[in-house]
Amino acid sequence: MNVVKHTQESPNRIPEIFSSMVFDDHVMKERLPKDTYQALKRTMELGKHLDKSIAATVANAMKDWAVEKGATHFTHWFQPMTGITAEKHDSFISPDGNGGVIMEFGGKELVKGEPDASSFPSGGLRATFEARGYTAWDPSSYAFIKDHTLCIPTVFCSYSGEALDKKTPLLRSMEVINKQALRILRLFGNQDVTRVTATVGPEQEYFLIDRDLFLRRKDLVLCGRTLFGAKPPKGQEMEDHYFGVLKPRVSAFMKELDEELWKLGVFAKTEHNEVAPAQHELAPIYTDTNLATDHNQLTMEIMKKVAAHHNLACLLHEKPFDGVNGSGKHNNWSISTNTGVNLLEPGDSPQENAQFLLFLAAVIKAVDEYQDLLRVSVASASNDHRLGANEAPPAIVSMFLGDELTAILESIEREEIYSRKDQEEMKVGVHILPRFPKDTTDRNRTSPFAFTGNKFEFRMVGSAASISGPNIILNTIVAEELSQFADQLEQSENFELDLAKLIRTTIKEHKRIIFNGNNYSSEWAEEAKRRGLLNLKSTADALAYYIAPKNIELFTKHHIFTAAELKSRYEILSENYCKTLNIEALTAIDMAEREILPAVSRYIQNLSETLLQKREISPAFACRYETETVSKLSALSDSLYQKLLGLKEDLKQAPLIDDPVRRAKFYEGSILADMEDLRRDADELEAITAEEYWPFPNYTRLLYFV
């Protein structure tokens, strides 16, 4: 096993290497003329238009900086609807007319690119023969150097203007929440704030396994998860991996990962072992949503590259191993002003607390009214394996606020005085609120959407997913509620009275979404049903809600998606769900037919020959082990083969179903069920087959041999 040795940068060099590969504010201020720098800053901070003449100056400075750093190429780095990033590299070279080359990069190349759009998912927005698509520079996100290439963050759209990426609607949603939040702040007399930004800190969970073992499993290579695998003698029941001492290879991986991320300006902060064996987590400091989304995409990419340096494989699938915890991506979301105020944090004055309560009420109302969209935003075939298990939030969307904050809201609803032993009484008339007592309740790790003091932790997001989708939804639904609140309060003749009434009414009408108990319990599922909350257990169940009339109205009203763009996302989600299960089914058939059954047959042959040899020596030998094992193996092999044939037949039926929702339901109800039946027999065969005969590494080796 060849492992690249790596030396950690000394701690005193961390400030020097941090953001060293980013064309950030410090570099721009140093290299750009003052007027160009100021114009670019206005574009980045206020969304102002950037003059084309300025783009040429920026491009030249960017090119000189990148070449000095060793870059030879540039690319428009974008995020198509595949969920990963895309890039087409062009070198800086241009002919000099004398048989040589010069290094050039102009404003035109910086601002606009033209990649082929036909081969990316479009959900019907583009026909295959209509190849033209455009990338356009996103100045709100810094350019950076990766693999000797200057990467320019861009948006991606079609020739006719439809968004073909995940970044364009994210930027739109950030503008919408800025606009509506400013309306609310103006009602409270705040004229200093000029911009409100949604901020995010996505905690990233992942598995690390030995790369040589990884390459010996077709299911891990092709599907990202194990389609077969008997449970190991030891799982996570001893609870000894969580926050445990890092193994040397894992520690070396994390050190190199930190360095590579820091060079790219990623705020990698916290790292530790997670609950499952071979599972780990990286948590960044949170920043504005656009930059956090870019950083998380880079984090997932760099994780895989750095893992290979240490002969490891990084698994980002939500459920790579059955029987142990899967991986999520906790999306810590808040909204902050450009004056440094977190709008989801209780303040010290009555006015600040009234403002906090109104923003909190908007989030409560948004999560209740658009619980379907939040569920759809995290829907995927891979995340379905995780949601609802006793390791992750259930598929039922609810909110955790903590006992004290919930009690305060109940007092507001009843127009009663709230008090606690160590605090003075708090009369809930909004305009005379004293200091707001911050929540003292422990965190609820089972809640899908938990308030944690100054932000909400959306815990349903899958580990492999782009965080753009969930944050587009969060930004848009909260902006919608703020818009409704502003419409009412802007017409008010008695602001304080109407504000108190609005908060009380909102709490009363939407408190059903608040649940502080155990989300894993069966009692909660029944209680949620009584409350009228949705329980969309799978992607197939959630699909249709994507294009529900109320949701189309929401997105078109705020210009986040056109109706056609929304329909395209619905088509892509359904196609990806079915394609994922189809690939998994074909892989399971291949492994069962070409690896498992032949291996078991060889073992049966070995046992049979041993049995015959023993009986030749003495007919009196009992030979129970060989006799009973051969019988079990033969019966299970026959059962496995019959289920294999059944899966093949069902796969033939799937393409005949035209309707996306019905086709997805067929894959869930038939194909996935067939695969689970197949796995039960295969795992039982593994448990009684000699390890030397089993054709691929087992769970013990995968989870513990790092």
pLDDT in tens, 215-224: 999 999 999 9
How does residue 421 score in pLDDT terms, banded at 50, 70 and 90? low
State the Cα–Cα distance between residues 562 and 542, nearest whole angstrom: 20
The DSSP code for 132 is: B
If you average pLDDT over residues 606-616, what whole number do you get? 89
State the Cα–Cα distance between residues 690 and 240, nearest whole angstrom: 29
pLDDT of residue 66: 95
Mean model confidence pLDDT for the chain: 90
Contact 557, 172 (CB under 8 A): no
CA–CA–CA angle 191, 192, 193 (5° rounding): 95
State the Cα–Cα distance between residues 198 and 177, nearest whole angstrom: 8
pLDDT at residue 473 tops 80: yes
If you average pLDDT over residues 569-591, what whole number do you get? 96
If you average pLDDT over residues 519-535, what whole number do you get? 94
State the Cα–Cα distance between residues 258 and 14, nearest whole angstrom: 10
Fold observed for domain 11-165: Ubiquitin-like (UB roll) (3.10.20)
Q: Which of 227-231, 236-240, 244-248, 436-440 has the highest mean pLDDT?
A: 227-231
State the Cα–Cα distance between residues 351 and 390, nearest whole angstrom: 41
pLDDT of residue 132: 65
> What CATH number was assigned to the domain covering residues 575-704?
1.20.120.1560
Q: Are strands 143-146 and 101-103 parallel, antiparallel or unpaired?
A: unpaired
Residue written as token pair 């909260």: 478
Helix axes 597-617, 624-653, angle to 10 degrees: 160
State the Cα–Cα distance between residues 4 and 366, nearest whole angstrom: 49
pLDDT at residue 191 tops 60: yes
pLDDT at residue 352 tops 50: yes
The residues pairing with 93 across neighbouring beta strands, listed in sequence order, are 103
How does residue 355 score in pLDDT terms, banded at 50, 70 and 90? very high
If you average pLDDT over residues 562-570, what whole number do you get? 93
Contact 393, 519 (CB under 8 A): yes
Burial class, 311, CB count within 10 angstroms (exposed 0-12 / middle 13-18 / buried 19+):
middle
Closest CA to 328 of 270, 386, 401: 386
> What CATH number was assigned to the domain covering residues 204-328?
3.30.590.10
The residues pairing with 69 across neighbouring beta strands, listed in sequence order, are none
Q: How many CB atoms lie within 10 A of CB 594?
A: 12
State the Cα–Cα distance between residues 73 and 303, nearest whole angstrom: 23
pLDDT of residue 363: 98
**Residue 675, both tokens:** 């695969």
pLDDT at residue 65 tops 80: yes
**Residue 219, both tokens:** 């299911």
State the Cα–Cα distance between residues 405 and 632, nearest whole angstrom: 59
pLDDT of residue 641: 98
CA atoms in the 13 A half-sphere facing the CB of 444: 24
**Residue 109, both tokens:** 């190349």
pLDDT in tens, 4-47: 445 455 666 888 899 999 999 999 999 999 999 998 888 777 66
Which has the minimum average pLDDT: 240-244, 453-457, 634-638? 240-244
If you average pLDDT over residues 202-210, what whole number do you get? 97
| Contacts (Cβ under 8 Å, ≥6 apart) of 601 | 637
Which has the minimum average pLDDT: 61-65, 81-85, 314-318, 594-598? 81-85
For the chain, the domains span 11-165, 169-194+340-536, 204-328, 575-704
pLDDT of residue 127: 52
Specify the amino acid at residue 229. Answer: G
CA separation, residue 101 to residues 53, 91, 95, 211, 675 (Å): 25, 11, 4, 42, 57
Higher per-residue pLDDT: 691 or 118:
691
State the Cα–Cα distance between residues 332 and 83, nearest whole angstrom: 20
pLDDT of residue 433: 44
Closest CA to 207 of 83, 295, 307, 301: 307
Contact 225, 583 (CB under 8 A): no
pLDDT of residue 620: 72
Closest CA to 663 of 549, 534, 544: 544
The DSSP code for 328 is: B
CA separation, residue 445 to residues 400, 402, 520, 577 (Å): 10, 12, 10, 28
Q: How many CB atoms lie within 10 A of CB 609?
A: 11
